[in-house]
Structure 1
């Protein structure tokens, strides 16, 4: 295997008397190496298998632990012992600008070992010739000062749609979302902001144009990012959700027009030069099967195309400029997730016998009140770090009953004639009709409930104060009991004028029973009709329920 090109495999054929040359022995090694590396690349992929942790030893020095990795054409990289080096001494580190992020990478490297005198070459050359007796399969550490593009990683190309919105030496803003979606699926869209530590605070506001997608939650097409003032991070993620079209087949689009994007770095407004757009395929089959289909359909050349010179990034190192020099502020290990997981571990994680926690989703819900005439709302947010959906339901409050009720009292004086009973205003007259009373609820149908009110002062001596009682219906049912009222037995009736917003109360004395009361206090309740049903449609049962409600409110 030479770079990313694959040659047909051929091996030595041995026979008696064959003259073996350098070429034969080299092809013997190449045959086994290339086969192993091809299988490494296609079966396991590329990345760190174990170890290779990077830590800061001091302000200018890093240490790389021992470990094993496989590079992008299947070669094994082994760091047999920890390595500690000053960052400025590592290949690729430049001293022109210190306020930056640098990326510490590792690559496969071969080095000659054990120089020996070459007897064969000395027979044809006059000077002494030395050759290396061994080739050491080693490694090379170096620094890249520019982050690799997300699409340079094969797993990203297969699974995600990534667009770059803005990029310069200190800032890169990308947006990422799944490459394939199922109909009606709610998907995460991630805005990723990468910057150096000494870059001023970043604010980014933009609007999205969605074709096929619908907004979920509070997004409504407007996205806003503002870097926290006290943060010392070099990478931020802002996630919002969209819902895929309900029909499979075709594509849904998500565009970020440049004219609708506003980027501010510090106090400087930065123009966005071009529009970015995602084109996402809506598929009927499970997304995982669609990704596997792409994996199976790729050619052998595509599997290794452009990967020969790609290195493995072990750490992102954030630097601060300190006068004429620098200081290591932060080390983020494996910033692009270039790992190779053990197949036995993956099998157990994905099998039914495994923990299964990674496949469970959780939901939390919260309901809150809205104004009674508002429309119900539903806000859904997904938190991928804990596999949780957060549902917030807004429910309109019912219109408060007390907004539809009015109450008042009316007093009617009686003329006492001893034990013969009380009459309304004059002897021999037992009927009384009030003037029009305004209930204050405006025009429209109302239901009027009236009752006789009596002040009970029996508890005053005990320090409990005066209590009121209101008798609805026929008060004579309490006659002969401890609850017998000290008021005349009166029948009450009402007349309602819906167009005027008024009513009248009529009273009739039913008998000549004894009463010490000189005034009858009538308590009335007016209930505004909550529906379109006319007053005549209200039956006695409904009126009784209103009376009970009025009684409980009075108590």
Structure 2
């Protein structure tokens, strides 16, 4: 069944009926053509082209896909209907070749017509001796096909109207494009997107370049340097790197952004790939809002530009990523409608426009975070603008205040006692009168510190209850208070410490001095660590003693 491939328009003609008119095949065909052509013209101009509903593509197994029922409109306004789900092996679809497996292929759908219900042609049999059959119906159907080359971004009308796209590099397995707005306003921050597309089995890609700008001002800490590195564990076939530039303050000029080939380095795996072409953007700086300028271009396009030249273009339903598995292949991933060929419902778009009216389109949003810098560093402010959501990200570096006093840390360590005999004598462990702690982190970092150690008496001890003094800490030899009202209810032990300056830790050593009656089952050791700003461990003097006393008073 022949299918018209061109969308050339003719003046619309209607059949004129009158009594006694002889109706021929031409008249009936003209009737159908009038209705179909007018509807298709309005479809194309009012709704555009793409998937209206359904047509989801899902993998069934390693070599098979299923396309769900759905509706689409092609690039000359013809309706494409898949009336029932269809399941096919990739090898059974037109256009699929078996000689290359490690690539991305694209599943497309096209309008197609098929003859249906063959019947005997009475009229033709009157003039021909052999039996002649004609189709009684024409089935408006569809045709699925595989395309192994991705369509150029500029082949889509909405891209041509809104974006300036250049191809930086392209081969059978890799395509690198750079995209930015076709128009910008004076002083506006424009987003530039570097899009890297590859097959799954292509080695990792790295791309570094320095762009040249005429009118544009580079933004960001890297200036005009751009560096892309593919994520090591990502099972992806498309990556987007975004950087920003600021448009000139003057309108009515064209700002230029260019990637010189000599300043670009592309690495695929371990191989350095030469860049032959100089990718270049020329962006118009306009006075009116960008949306108005795009609408102006839309309104001023000719009818031929709106309709002609798209008859053979397919609707891409899915990008299918294949992996080579020895002598065959397997489907690794399916991305639905990879080029955004959708037709949205007008009622839905109206409601979405009402919900966002006066909100996000006319407000700016900001997020901020702060981080510490060295006390002698200068404050730092890094600002990133996201024009797609009118958002600013502020990162503020604030110098830490210079410490006015030396650093002090404190803590406690508890040691369980084991009583033996009737005298209440004790050992740290049976038969052993020495105790060495594990390494303790004082939290002041590496460097020299001085550690002071004392025994802390519990508030519930007998001595504390007698004099009502509450918790006490004894430094040095506690037996000097024996026989006084300040006699501690703790063992008589000698204390020492070992400091590890490179590790920021220390140990506490304890040794029993004779036997002491005690009701305590656990003794608490209070330690203080002191570090000077100079990093040298100072001698224990009145300043250290005063600092410890002040800190102890603060804790209580």
TM-score by length of 2: 0.70
Alignment partner of 1:231 out of 209, 231, 234: 234
* Residues 251, 385 of structure 1: alpha-carbon distance in 2 compared, 3 angstrom cutoff: closer
Task: Write out per-residue CA displacement over residues 9-54 of structure 1, whole angstroms, 9 at most, x where no aligned residue.
Answer: 1111112222111111111100010000000000000000000000
Counterparts of 1:370 and 1:3 in 2: how far apart (Å)? Answer: 67
Matched, 1:334 2:357: no
User: Which piece of structure 1 moves more, 164-173 or 362-371?
Assistant: 362-371
Matched, 1:250 2:277: no
Kindly report the root-mean-square deviation, in angstroms, between the aligned alpha carbons of the 2 structures: 2.7
Q: Which residue of structure 2 lines up, in the alignment, with residue 45 of structure 1?
A: 48
Q: Which residue of structure 1 lines up, in the alignment, with residue 198 of structure 2?
A: 195
Q: How far did residue 362 of structure 1 move?
A: 2.8
- Helix, strand or coil at the partner of 1:192: strand
Structure exhibiting the larger radius of gyration computed from Cα positions:
1
Q: Which residue of structure 1 lines up, in the alignment, with residue 129 of structure 2?
A: 126
1:401-412 matches, within 5 Å, as none
Matched, 1:141 2:144: yes
Counterparts of 2:251 and 2:259 in 1: how far apart (Å)? Answer: 24
Alignment partner of 1:204 out of 203, 207, 214: 207
Task: Write out per-residue CA displacement over residues 314-339 of structure 1, whole angstroms, 9 at most, x where no aligned residue.
Answer: 00000001111110000000100000
Q: Which residue of structure 2 lines up, in the alignment, with residue 270 of structure 1?
A: 273
Counterparts of 1:360 and 1:65 in 2: how far apart (Å)? Answer: 41
Alignment partner of 1:70 out of 60, 68, 73: 73
Counterparts of 1:357 and 1:158 in 2: how far apart (Å)? Answer: 23
Counterparts of 2:170 and 2:473 in 1: how far apart (Å)? Answer: 82
Q: Which residue of structure 1 lines up, in the alignment, with residue 348 of structure 2?
A: 345
Contact 1:350–1:356 (Cα < 8 Å) also in 2: no
Q: How far did residue 265 of structure 1 move?
A: 0.5
* Residues 351, 390 of structure 1: alpha-carbon distance in 2 compared, 3 angstrom cutoff: same
Alignment partner of 2:217 out of 209, 214, 217: 214
Counterparts of 1:383 and 1:185 in 2: how far apart (Å)? Answer: 12
Contact 1:192–1:236 (Cα < 8 Å) also in 2: yes
* Residues 136, 368 of structure 1: alpha-carbon distance in 2 compared, 3 angstrom cutoff: same
Task: Write out per-residue CA displacement over residues 263-308 of structure 1, whole angstroms, 9 at most, x where no aligned residue.
Answer: 0111100000010011111111111101000000000000023111
Counterparts of 1:130 and 1:355 in 2: how far apart (Å)? Answer: 65
Counterparts of 1:77 and 1:115 in 2: how far apart (Å)? Answer: 23
Contact 2:189–2:387 (Cα < 8 Å) also in 1: no
- Helix, strand or coil at the partner of 2:8: coil
1:65-104 matches, within 5 Å, as 65-104=68-107
Q: Which residue of structure 1 lines up, in the alignment, with residue 189 of structure 2?
A: 186
- Helix, strand or coil at the partner of 1:107: strand
Task: Write out per-residue CA displacement over residues 94-122 of structure 1, whole angstroms, 9 at most, x where no aligned residue.
Answer: 00111110000000000000000111111
Q: How far did residue 367 of structure 1 move?
A: 3.6
Counterparts of 2:168 and 2:132 in 1: how far apart (Å)? Answer: 57
Q: Which residue of structure 1 lines up, in the alignment, with residue 153 of structure 2?
A: 150
Q: Which residue of structure 1 lines up, in the alignment, with residue 446 of structure 2?
A: none
Q: How far did residue 143 of structure 1 move?
A: 0.4
Counterparts of 2:110 and 2:141 in 1: how far apart (Å)? Answer: 9
Q: How far did residue 369 of structure 1 move?
A: 5.4
Task: Write out per-residue CA displacement over residues 362-382 of structure 1, whole angstroms, 9 at most, x where no aligned residue.
Answer: 311124456788765432224
- Helix, strand or coil at the partner of 2:323: strand
Alignment partner of 2:59 out of 53, 56, 59: 56
Matched, 1:163 2:166: yes
- Helix, strand or coil at the partner of 1:229: coil
Q: Which residue of structure 2 lines up, in the alignment, with residue 34 of structure 1?
A: 37
1:123-522 matches, within 5 Å, as 123-352=126-355, 361-368=364-371, 377-383=380-386, 388-394=391-397
* Residues 369, 100 of structure 1: alpha-carbon distance in 2 compared, 3 angstrom cutoff: same
Aligned length: 412
- Helix, strand or coil at the partner of 1:123: helix
Task: Write out per-residue CA displacement over residues 513-545 of structure 1, whole angstroms, 9 at most, x where no aligned residue.
Answer: xxxxxxxxxxxxxxxxxxxxxxxxxxxxxxxxx
Task: Give ranges in structure 1 of 5+ residues lacking alignment.
Answer: 404-461, 466-551
Task: Write out per-residue CA displacement over residues 457-491 of structure 1, whole angstroms, 9 at most, x where no aligned residue.
Answer: xxxxx9899xxxxxxxxxxxxxxxxxxxxxxxxxx
Task: Give ranges in structure 2 of 5+ residues lacking alignment.
Answer: 406-471, 476-546, 551-556
